[in-house]
């Protein structure tokens, strides 16, 4: 039978969230050879009812609800909506004053603070967030935190594959109320499950959305650690978001620890190959076919305030989008009692802080989908956004980024087999360098255009 979820899996649009496994145990989710969680299906045991449910949960299937429809169900009808960040009550920028959340956080420390407050105020019994793992060579995974556990043990930004496989079963089997952190596609999957599963719907009270440029395979951590002197088979842990005093907040400090506990030096991600987020090294294919950057289906979305006013503050600041009144009230109280240094900001500012990601996920997605359709290939159905004509240079950049995504997975696997990091860097630099300079066609066009301008000026002068 032609189920859309099989197209998702067959054409590599799976993000590995595990929502399908929750619906039907004939699905399974495993790390593939490139280090990305992907779903598989045992075709010998077709059970149509459950596949239909899995279709409704899968964030990339054509039969799950899109972000706009989900927002209509879960958020107040009259909330203002912005095309780029979805429905919102208010947006803020700033950081947590209450210690040590900012020091222990990726940027302003709001993520773990919010989870802590929800627990402290007895709004939830459990918090589910990503934390360090250190088991079976997995560095990060989702973990359940109950009342007596330290929320601050949650990770900073885990640029690392995660899955909800097993976590959703835990929620179903254990009474109580939950708050969970989620990347946009994971949040979409959770909401779609809530639409069809009353138990999960009643138990998950808050989704804390993590703004997302894209998700990485395990190779991203391995590449950084390798450059710092720890080979991929010897990593115990990695820090992607150490704060570098005196530097701009988008300079992320990276260090790794090997299996006998030795820590490397801290280097700025900008000094490491692969640190340029715009290249999209080791990206899941699904991320190139997702149109939600901020997590429009989450009760609150949290990102980095990489805006002119905040970028020079190496301590880090968040941008936060609020869609839930209770969370809004907790924030307002905390601003009043001096726990949060938050200022309201315009939606346009939030959009500006994510403009690169939004361009790639909206304009870029439209172009990538069109290219697939021209080749008669299946692509997930996405929301319709209006665009002006895409410039030739941007099309070239989108094509190069796709090439980087595909090749980075392949070349890194070879580099690991050959134990040759330089092989990977050399191969990839040939492609990444092309993104740094304009195409030959563009340079010729530009020369002709610039040469023509003085002639045009003279002609106009003569004619007037």
Give residues in contact with ligand FAD (CB under 6 A): 105-112, 115, 129-130, 154-159, 162, 181-183, 210-213, 215, 302-304, 318, 354, 357
Distance CA 152, CA 115 (A): 9
Give 161 or 380: the residue with its C-beta nearer to ligand FAD: 161
Give 52 or 125: the residue with its C-beta nearer to ligand FAD: 125
Residue in the shown chain whose Cβ atom is closest to ligand FAD: 111
CB of 131 to ligand FAD, least distance (A): 6
CB of 423 to ligand FAD, least distance (A): 26
Give 130 or 415: the residue with its C-beta nearer to ligand FAD: 130
- As given in the structure block, the two tokens for residue 278 are 């715009």
Distance CA 261, CA 394 (A): 45
Give 132 or 402: the residue with its C-beta nearer to ligand FAD: 132
Give 4 or 324: the residue with its C-beta nearer to ligand FAD: 324
Give 106 or 432: the residue with its C-beta nearer to ligand FAD: 106
CB of 220 to ligand FAD, least distance (A): 9
- Could you tell me which of 339, 393, 387, 396 has the C-alpha nearest to residue 359? 387
Q: How far is CA 38 from CA 2, 31, 87, 433, in A?
A: 19, 6, 30, 30
Give 29 or 51: the residue with its C-beta nearer to ligand FAD: 29
CB of 264 to ligand FAD, least distance (A): 21
CB of 18 to ligand FAD, least distance (A): 13
Give 107 or 432: the residue with its C-beta nearer to ligand FAD: 107
The structure tokens 């059970």 sit at: 47
Give 3 or 241: the residue with its C-beta nearer to ligand FAD: 241
Give 3 or 282: the residue with its C-beta nearer to ligand FAD: 282
Give 100 or 229: the residue with its C-beta nearer to ligand FAD: 100
The structure tokens 């859309």 sit at: 4
CB of 260 to ligand FAD, least distance (A): 26
Distance CA 306, CA 319 (A): 9
CB of 115 to ligand FAD, least distance (A): 6
Distance CA 286, CA 16 (A): 10
CB of 328 to ligand FAD, least distance (A): 17
CB of 262 to ligand FAD, least distance (A): 25
Contact 35, 161 (CB under 8 A): yes
CB of 373 to ligand FAD, least distance (A): 27
Give residues with Cβ within 8 angstroms of 59, minimum separation 6. Answer: 15, 17, 19, 185, 186, 188, 189, 192, 290
CB of 308 to ligand FAD, least distance (A): 15
CB of 224 to ligand FAD, least distance (A): 14
Give 208 or 225: the residue with its C-beta nearer to ligand FAD: 208
């Amino acid at each position: 039978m032609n189920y859309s979820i099989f197209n998702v899996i067959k054409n590599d649009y799976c993000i590995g969230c595990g929502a399908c496994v929750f619906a039907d145990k004939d699905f399974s989710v495993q790390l593939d050879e490139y280090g990305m969680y992907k779903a598989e299906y045992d075709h010998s045991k077709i059970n149509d009812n459950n596949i239909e449910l899995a279709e409704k949960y899968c964030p990339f299937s054509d039969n799950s609800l899109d972000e706009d429809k989900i927002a209509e169900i879960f958020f107040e009808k009259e909330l203002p909506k912005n095309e780029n960040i979805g429905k919102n009550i208010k947006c803020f920028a700033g950081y947590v004053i209450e210690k040590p959340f900012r020091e222990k956080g990726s940027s302003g420390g709001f993520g773990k603070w919010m989870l802590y407050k929800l627990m402290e105020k007895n709004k939830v019994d459990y918090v589910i967030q990503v934390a360090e793992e250190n088991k079976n060579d997995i560095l990060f995974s989702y973990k359940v935190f109950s009342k007596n556990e330290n929320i601050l043990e949650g990770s900073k930004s885990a640029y690392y594959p995660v899955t909800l496989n097993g976590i959703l079963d835990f929620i179903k089997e254990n009474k109580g109320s939950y708050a969970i952190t989620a990347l946009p596609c994971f949040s979409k999957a959770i909401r779609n499950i809530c639409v069809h599963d009353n138990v999960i719907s009643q138990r998950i009270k808050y989704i804390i959305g993590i703004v997302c440029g894209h998700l990485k395979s395990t190779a991203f951590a391995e590449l950084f650690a390798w450059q710092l002197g720890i080979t991929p088979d010897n990593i115990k842990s990695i820090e992607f978001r150490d704060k570098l005093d005196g530097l701009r907040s988008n300079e992320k400090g990276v260090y790794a620890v090997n299996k006998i506990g030795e820590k490397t030096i801290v280097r700025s991600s900008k000094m490491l190959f692969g640190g340029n987020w715009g290249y999209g090294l080791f990206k899941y294919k699904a991320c190139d076919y997702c149109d939600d950057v901020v997590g429009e289906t989450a009760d609150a979305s949290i990102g980095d305030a990489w805006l002119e006013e905040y970028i020079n503050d190496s301590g880090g600041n968040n941008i936060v989008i609020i869609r839930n009144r209770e969370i809004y009230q907790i924030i307002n109280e905390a601003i009043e009692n001096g726990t949060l240094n938050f200022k309201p900001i315009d939606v346009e500012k939030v959009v500006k802080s994510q403009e690169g990601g939004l361009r790639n996920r909206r304009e870029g997605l439209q172009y990538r989908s069109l290219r697939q359709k021209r080749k008669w290939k299946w692509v997930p159905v996405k929301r319709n956004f209006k665009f002006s004509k895409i410039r030739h240079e941007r099309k070239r950049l989108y094509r190069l980024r796709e090439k980087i995504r595909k090749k980075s997975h392949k070349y890194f696997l070879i580099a690991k087999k050959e134990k040759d990091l330089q092989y990977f860097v050399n191969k990839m630099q040939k492609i990444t360098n092309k993104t740094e300079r304009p195409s030959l066609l563009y340079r010729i066009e530009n020369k002709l255009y610039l040469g023509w301008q003085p002639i045009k000026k003279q002609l106009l002068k003569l004619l007037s």
